Structures are given as C-alpha cells and as structure tokens.
Amino acid sequence: MELFAVIMAGGVGSRFWPRSKEKSPKQLLTIFGENSMIQNTVDRLKGLVDDENIYVITNKIQKPEIVAQLSQIPKENIIEEPFGRNTAACIGLASIIIEKRNKDAVTLILPADHIIKDKEIFHNILKNSAVFADESKGLVTIGIPPTRPETGYGYIQIDDKSVSDNIFKVLTFAEKPNYATAVRFIESGDFMWNSGMFIWRTDAILNEIKTYLPDLYDGLYAIRKDIDTPNYEKTLFNVYGILKSISIDYGIMEKSKQVFLIKGEFSWSDVGSWEEVYQLTEKNSEGNALKGNIYSDRTIDSYIYSPDKFTAVIGVESLIIINTKDALLVCRRDHCQDVKKIVDHLKINKMSEYL
C-alpha cells in the first residue's frame, strides 16, 4: 500500500473577506502562527506521505503562489483546474492522475484550510483508515465528535456498532442544521461533524463515480487518455466546460453503499468564519483578540485586525473588525456567516477591485 494525498485548494474563502480574495484566498494566508494554512496542511503530512506523493488541486489564479509556498512539492503535482466544478470533479481529476501513476494507491483527500492539533493522533487515524480502505475497498470519511450544537457544519449519522476499530457504517448525511436540529443531533449521540476529509483506494472512488456519476466518469477517462501528451490541456478545458458542478458528498457519499466513518478524536476546526478565528485566537483580559496597531477602550469580546493602519475602537462588544489597505469590515460576531453576501454583492456590481 502506497499513500498519496490530495489537498483541495481552489476555494476563495468568501466568509473571510476582505483578507481572503481570489488571488490570496484563506488557505494562502497566515492566520495562525508563522505559516499559511496550506503550508501547515502539508507540514502535517510529514512522516506519513512523501512529498512526491502529495498533490494540490487549485486554479490558474492561485497556482503561482501555491508553487511558491510549497517549493518541496514537485511542480507537476500542482494540478490546475480550468474551471471550478465542485469537489466531485476536483477529486476525480486528481484521482485519474494518481491512478495512472499507481493503480493500488490509497489516497487521503484533505482540504487546505483546516486547523488540526494532536498530529500523532491524526496520523494514527489516517493510517488505520488507510489500511481499512485498502482491505475493504470502502470509502472512509473522518467524523469529528461534536462538542456543541454547531449550525455551521454538516453532520453524519452512524450505526452505533463498529465494523472495525473505531470505524462505523454511515447511515445518513445531513446538511447544516438549524439550532434546534443541531441540539437533537448532539443528544442522539450518533451524529458526527462532517470534516470533509476522505480516505479511499483511488480505484474504489473511480468505480463509485462510474456508478453514480457516469457522465463525470466518461469525462475523466477522456482526460486520462491524454495525460502526459500535448493534447492534455485542450482536452481538460473542453471536458471541464461541459461537466456539471456537484459535490462529492451529494454525488457519491450520500448514494454509495460502501461509506464508513472513523471518529477523529483530535482537536479540529475548519475555520469557516471570522467567528472561528476569534474562538481560536488568544485573547486579552477583556476578551479581545487584537492584531495590529490598535487602541481599544471599553471594548469587549471582539476580534480586531488592522496591521496597516492605526485603528481606534471605543465602547463596543462582540464585533469583528477587519481593516485592510483597501476595505473595512465591521460585523457582529453572530452574523459572521453573512460575510459571503458581501462577495456576492461585489460580483453582481462588478466591483472586481475589492475581490
């Protein structure tokens, strides 16, 4: 069994506007510590996956910065999608490239922007799930035991009897719930947070794509025959232009009969909003997380980021304030999920200088 990793890094991170933009999305930013989120994701794989077996899938705009940040990864392993077509196409494209290199590959599918502590536990979970996936040819996802009735995550329901050590059969997937439903999920004890991380044999996921998304499968194999030929980019462009945009969860995981979950007993966050950043950042005695040259007075429980200009904040509470060179966001912490609406507004009004 040879382990490969695919890091999905094509998103824009619209909930992190105005720091996260098309050319410098969330995964390429330094939000915690000294390295970017994608650099931390790659570093987390040291000792488990060789650098030459790590692939990153992204887009034309972000590729140059990814190549610069991840110099240890072979440049040809940075895969460029011509268009965004959601995670099923993204994972499928990476899978045919890896499958052409190694027909028995077991692949770890990882988002580029997660915060994961307890590296040793994380490695053990990936190893155990890789062995199970290799032997069973099943599709394994990592589920996070919930610590609160979170409405920003999807959920996965599992059978309470394990099929192997810490591995369970998946019963259903659930979209992001309202608060009352999230409380019921927690109380039931058989729902996990959907981490968006997967482990499987590459041939296993391609077989499931063949069964449940045959049009995507046909497109992928049209691309596969031209890999490493002068026709590759033209074929990739033409095929992607007619693919449907569909997520791997909706297209495969919710339909397949071969889906399993391993519990991820480690500290995890998908850092989906500025509220998550606030929660994960060290705070002062007033409950504020301050980044930059900031004066605060009678201000509590707020996240204020302003590295480029002096910012004064007086008499407020529970705010997110992001002050960059060209834009300012002021938002109540409990409205952080709505930041993406700003990006939609900018696109509709063709205000590309702020995107």
DSSP 88-116: HHHHHHHHHHHHHH-TT-EEEEEESS-EE
Q: Whole-prediction pTM value?
A: 0.93
pLDDT at site 337: 87
CA-CA distance, 219 to 223, in Å (whole number)? 6
Domains, the chain: 3-269 (3.90.550.10), 274-354 (no CATH)
* Short-list 24, 23, 84, CA closest to 57: 84
- Residue indicated by tokens 């939000």: 31
CA-CA distance, 251 to 318, in Å (whole number)? 39
Q: Which of the 8 DSSP states describes residue 127?
A: H
pLDDT at site 32: 87
Please provide the distance, in angstroms rounded to a whole number, between the alpha carbons at the two ends of the chain: 43
pLDDT at site 151: 86
Query: In sequence order, what are the residues at sequence separation of 6 or more whose Cβ sits closer than 8 angstroms to the Cβ of residue 26?
Result: 11, 13, 16, 19, 20, 37, 113, 271
β-strands 54-59, 3-8 pairing: parallel
Residue ranges for the chain with pLDDT beneath 50: none
pLDDT at site 173: 95
